[in-house]
Structure 1
Amino acid sequence: MKKKMALLNSVIVVISFTVAFVLCAVQVHSQYETEFTRRLDAVLSLSALDTSQFAKNPQGEAQLLGDSLKKSGQQIRISIISAQGKVLGDSAMQEINENHLHRPEIQQALKSGRGYDIRVSSTTHQRYLYAAQQVENHYFLRAAMRTTEMDTVMRRLAGSAAVCIFIGILIACFATLPLVSRTLRPLRELTDAAKEISRGNFTRRVSVSPAKDEVGSLARSFNRMIRSTENAITELDRNQSRLTGLLEGMDDGVLAVDSTGHVLFFNERVRILLSCPNLQVSDALDSSLVLSHVADILQRVGKSGETCKEQIAGVTAEQQFTVYAAPVEGGASVLAVISDISRMKRLEQMRSEFVGNVTHELKTPLTSIRASIELLKSSGRDAKTRAYFYEVLDMEAERLQHLIDDMLVLSRLENMRQDTAAQPISVEETVRDSVERLSMTAAKHQISVEFHVDPTLLVCCAPMRLEQLFTNLIENAVKYNHPGGKVEITGAPQHEIAVIKVRDTGIGIAPEHIPRLFERFYRVDASRSREIGGTGLGLSIVKHIAVLYGGDISVESKVGAGSVFTVRLPLASAEHTGKA
């Protein structure tokens, strides 16, 4: 930039000096020409006073006039020319044969009485200023003065002008460079600041000159622009962070694609839901069957420009997704929200199964009760037969009572968030009470029950709930056992957790039944369960009790070898023990 400005100033200096020289040269040349013309006019006027000798001896008269002028210090050439243009006498040459009638000064003298011209003489080959005057219509008296003096002055003037231009260029360069450097310093600072800003550094500012000139105004405007841009980008980043946090915190997947079907953005939930851990921005949705289904939906929405809501299957048979897609940016891209409705579908299925199971469980005893009543109404029944039907009625009514009681217990457990009746309680004492309560049932089925529980093992539970948990587990271990079998209960602390195991040597559970074992009304062997009077809710109640008090339950089983149910409950803390 400095070189350009120095060069520009030099060009301006050259042009300025050249124009000044030309004007000055024209003025000097005009002044010299005027002065020479005035001198020639004076010579012509004096020479024309006495023309009597022109006809007698024109060459001698011309030579005499020339010598007289030369003595007076004037180098003026005198020519006497006839009206026909022939040179009759010339002070510089003895004989000139060339006709001068068509010389510019002669032609001009014919018209106006006196004429002038500047040219190089064809006879002497020197540059002259010619002045001609017509005398008595017979002669032309011409005076010529060499322009050597004027040409010398003009050459000196041109030399001086060249030197002045050169000096002016040097002065302009030396004076311009510091001035340009100082002038361009704010612009360089603005350029550096703009480069920093282009790299993302919006904290850069430029110093503002105290002078209220254009550069200072530009610097202030630049700083204001940077502050505004920094605030806008900060707000944009803040909003982007909020949006990113919102998208990443969503339980649904959010996915956007462009008109060609390539990914514009997505949240992490999309990778989890659609099982595509390697999905990246700008990828095409073709790496799996699920992604292809989503891509088809988005492509249809992009073409139609209308929103769409559709259900698709996931990677596994249990997975179900809802894809809601809508065009954005005038159809240039499509946004999709992917929701996992697998749990909802499972809950709907469980509800349907629950209704069916409840209906079935209620229908069987009610059918038996109604049949018994109908038979009792008929006449001719002896006392023994009536007693049998009364026993059937009592048994089915008790079965209904147990079913309703278990359903009420399960409903209460599901609605409870915490149990205010919870207190530190001994696991050993609770297990002992449950074993004693079921001793007659165990003896009836020829099952021996043993327990080995750490006496110091305390958990924070409601006594009734904990006893209900162990009673259900031990009762199942007894009823689904072989005659002569065995049930063993053990309990010990493990890392702040009470681990209680109920082991039996019964019929065992097939692996395909274990995942659904704790569902309501789920039975491994429905006929055997009804035969021994089970409601199908015992294990579901056990699991809800364990979860209510911060624990869990698991099962390990082998068909024909027995099962092991493991209950884990948090140990009662010192705080709970102190309150007790």
Structure 2
Amino acid sequence: MTLGLLIMAAVFFVLFVERYVRSRRRRLFITDIVQTVRAFAGSGAGREGRITDVQTAEEKAAASVLNQAMDSVLKQITRLSEERDVLTHILETMTTGVIYVSTNGRIERMNQAAEQMFLRPIADVLGTDHWTVIHNYELGAAIDNALLFGHKWSSEMNLRKGLTVSVQVIPIPLDAPAGAGPRQIYTALLLCNDVSQWRRIEQMRSDFVANVSHELKTPITAIQGFAETLLDGEKDAQIQTEFLRVIHDESIRMKNLVADLLTLTRLESGNGGLSFSKVNLQEVVAASVRVIEPIAQAAQVVVENTVTADLVVWGAEEQLKQVVLNLVTNAIHYTPLGGVVTVFAESYVDRVKIHVADTGIGIPKEHQERVFERFYRVDRDRSRATGGTGLGLAIAKHIVQTHGGEIGVDSEPGLGSDFWFTVSRLQGLPTETPDKV
């Protein structure tokens, strides 16, 4: 009897211990799950939470399901993080200024392009009311209308001197939060595109058309007037000869103007059909000076060519000759009687710099940056008197730029001018020190 009781007690004890162990294992397993999930939730996408301490088949099955779920979540987090990084990179590299305004009118996002347009650091404006950045009443009101009523808006405005932008305000509808009622909720996206360069080009085109009309009108009017006088029966032979000479000169001027316009149009449309090859600039300068010598003699101006060394460059020979001719002719026209025009060169490792220096009247500083514009003249009457079209320096500039070079002028009023341009050379020198050649 006693033995039976002992055996029964032992059995109950074993069952109790087994149940206790199983219960404890289950609690430990659940605790492991909770700790793993918490670690996973707080770790972000950098570390993987895994349930590995499993014993029974039931625990292994549960752990497998949870591990797979966490793997899936981790992949989603990684994908979203990568997409966020890509979108941030796109936003920051856009040339369009972007400002995102929340429903309460505060700036939530702003890219670098917008920062440069509005001249406000991004860190200073995030979280502030859009009126602290948008000082234009019309634009600020458009943002408010987008937030309140979902109204789109677009316009063009000058944010400041020299900066014209095309602006769009786009409302973005959001799901209304619980208890907000039937009213639609909006955020707003502000897009700003810098169109300053396009407006400057349009203005230049408008000025170009006006200048061409004016430049053509002058010779046409002169030709028409003198021709009508001759047709009316002018008998004086001397007057007839004088009028015919004027008609001839004005027709040549008009022909030159049309030719220069066509040349400039070709150059601006691309490379102007230029054919590049090895060119010796020493020969180009010498040939140009020979051509221009009669004009220099008539103007009683001495042209000195000091370029004697071979300077081989990569370029279009006839067009480079035109650059030299234009610069030397321009120098002669603005140099008084007895003056001197000197052509010299500086040779560098990678380029040749040709100078055309004169002892003429010089150019005021405020005009120096504009002398290469089409039809721009410092002295209009003097330019027309010399027969210039107002396009010579513009043509020279485009030819040099087509060669990948630079062109400029250094001048002081009363002390003369030094026009120069550069062309890439083929044969280098051992140092960067310029040599006059």
Q: TM-score range by the shorter chain?
A: 0.7 to 0.9
Q: Determine the C-alpha separation between the residues in 1 that align with 2:203 and 2:133.
A: 28
Q: What corresponds to 2:431 in structure 1? A: none
Larger deviation: 483-492 or 461-470? 483-492
Q: Determine the C-alpha separation between the residues in 2 that align with 1:495 and 1:314.
A: 45
Q: Determine the C-alpha separation between the residues in 2 that align with 1:410 and 1:212.
A: 86
Match of 2:151 among 306, 309, 319: 306
**What letter corresponds to residue 118 of structure 2 in structure 1?**
L
1:152-551 pair list within 5 angstroms: 179=22, 181-197=24-40, 198-200=42-44, 201-207=46-52, 209=54, 211-213=56-58, 215-280=59-124, 281-286=126-131, 294-316=139-161, 318-330=162-174, 331-417=185-271, 421-453=275-307, 455-551=309-405
CA deviation vs aligned residue, 1:429-459 (integer Å, no higher than 9, x gap): 1111111111121122222222333613221
CA deviation vs aligned residue, 1:113-141 (integer Å, no higher than 9, x gap): xxxxxxxxxxxxxxxxxxxxxxxxxxxxx
Q: Determine the C-alpha separation between the residues in 2 that align with 1:483 and 1:230.
A: 86
Shift of 1:194: 2.1
CA deviation vs aligned residue, 1:16-38 (integer Å, no higher than 9, x gap): xxxxxxxxxxxxxxxxxxxxxxx
**What letter corresponds to residue 372 of structure 2 in structure 1?**
F
Change in CA separation of 1:566 and 1:261 when aligned onto 2, cut-off 3 Å:
farther
Q: Structure 2 unaligned runs (5+)?
A: 1-8, 175-184, 429-437
- Tell whether the 8 Å contact from 1:557 to 1:564 is kept in structure 2 after alignment: yes
Q: What corresponds to 1:8 in structure 2? A: none
Give the secondary-structure state (helix, strand or coil) at the position aligned to 1:336: strand
Change in CA separation of 1:366 and 1:436 when aligned onto 2, cut-off 3 Å:
same
Q: What corresponds to 1:555 in structure 2? A: 409
- Tell whether the 8 Å contact from 2:105 to 2:147 is kept in structure 1 after alignment: no
Q: Structure 1 unaligned runs (5+)?
A: 1-163, 575-580
Q: Determine the C-alpha separation between the residues in 2 that align with 1:466 and 1:448.
A: 22
Change in CA separation of 1:425 and 1:373 when aligned onto 2, cut-off 3 Å:
same
- Tell whether the 8 Å contact from 1:285 to 1:291 is kept in structure 2 after alignment: no
- RMSD of aligned alpha carbons: 2.7
CA deviation vs aligned residue, 1:60-99 (integer Å, no higher than 9, x gap): xxxxxxxxxxxxxxxxxxxxxxxxxxxxxxxxxxxxxxxx
Q: What corresponds to 1:63 in structure 2? A: none
Change in CA separation of 1:364 and 1:182 when aligned onto 2, cut-off 3 Å:
same
Q: Determine the C-alpha separation between the residues in 2 that align with 1:248 and 1:409.
A: 42
Change in CA separation of 1:327 and 1:543 when aligned onto 2, cut-off 3 Å:
same
CA deviation vs aligned residue, 1:266-316 (integer Å, no higher than 9, x gap): 222112233334555324445566577654432232223111002221232
TM-score normalised by structure 2 residue count: 0.85
- Tell whether the 8 Å contact from 1:453 to 1:492 is kept in structure 2 after alignment: no
- Tell whether the 8 Å contact from 2:112 to 2:122 is kept in structure 1 after alignment: no
Change in CA separation of 1:253 and 1:495 when aligned onto 2, cut-off 3 Å:
farther
Q: Determine the C-alpha separation between the residues in 2 that align with 1:284 and 1:368.
A: 65
- Tell whether the 8 Å contact from 1:274 to 1:315 is kept in structure 2 after alignment: no
Shift of 1:528: 1.3
Q: Report 1 or 2 for greater relative contact order, CA contacts < 8 Å, sequence distance ≥ 6.
A: 2
Q: Determine the C-alpha separation between the residues in 1 that align with 2:409 and 2:121.
A: 33
Count of paired positions:
404
TM-score normalised by structure 1 residue count: 0.65
- Tell whether the 8 Å contact from 1:458 to 1:572 is kept in structure 2 after alignment: yes
CA deviation vs aligned residue, 1:168-220 (integer Å, no higher than 9, x gap): 99x97x8887655533333333233223322213533222746442x444322
Change in CA separation of 1:463 and 1:309 when aligned onto 2, cut-off 3 Å:
same
Larger deviation: 358-367 or 342-351? 342-351
1:17-56 pair list within 5 angstroms: none
Change in CA separation of 1:216 and 1:473 when aligned onto 2, cut-off 3 Å:
same
Q: What corresponds to 2:179 in structure 1? A: none
- Tell whether the 8 Å contact from 2:146 to 2:152 is kept in structure 1 after alignment: yes
Q: Determine the C-alpha separation between the residues in 2 that align with 1:294 and 1:532.
A: 52
Change in CA separation of 1:529 and 1:437 when aligned onto 2, cut-off 3 Å:
same
Shift of 1:387: 0.8
Identity %: 30
- Tell whether the 8 Å contact from 2:343 to 2:356 is kept in structure 1 after alignment: yes
Change in CA separation of 1:350 and 1:368 when aligned onto 2, cut-off 3 Å:
same
